Amino acid sequence: MVEDGRKKLMEKCTKCAPEFGNEWARLVLARMKTQDFMNVYAKAYEKYLTRDDIAELLAIQKKTKAHEKAETSPRLQEKLRSVLPSLMGDVMGGCVKIGAEIGGKASEEVAREHPEYIRTTHEQ
């Protein structure tokens, strides 16, 4: 994910030297916290699913790991059909927001601390 972001950054920033992208990627990786992304998932699940829904999903997961036959109840199947697009939209939106905030701050910091990584027009 960070490598894709670095590539897109370098495509858009034609004045940026490769060192800019490398330093940006290093900062982004250092600042990404798994817990931040887990919080996005937790909030989305809490918003769209009940405790009973989560309990059923966990029971299904346990059975699946034990290679037992696991079936979702018709009630949960219907609920998931109705909420999954919104739930996944919230998850994706939240994760993109985190990435954008971290990436934006990293770009500002690299530009501020390493102005030599940004070429002037006569250097291109």
Q: Provide DSSP, the chain.
A: -HHHHHHHHHHH-TTB-HHHHHHHHHHHHHH--HHHHHHHHHHHHHHH--HHHHHHHHHHHHHHHTT------HHHHHHHHHHHHHHHHHHHHHHHHHHHHHHHHHHHHHHHH-GGGB--GGG-
Q: In this predicted structure, what is the pLDDT of residue 69?
A: 85
pLDDT of residue 122: 53
Phi, psi of 38 (to 5 degrees): -65, -35
Q: Where along the chain do its domains lie? A: 2-123
Mean pLDDT of residues grouped by 10 in the chain (124 residues)? 94 95 97 97 97 94 85 94 97 96 96 92 54
pLDDT score recorded for residue 67: 86
| Alpha-carbon gap, residue 12 to 21, rounded angstroms | 11
Q: Which residues, at least 6 apart from 124, have a Cβ–Cβ distance to it below 8 Å?
A: 14, 15
Predicted model pTM = 0.80
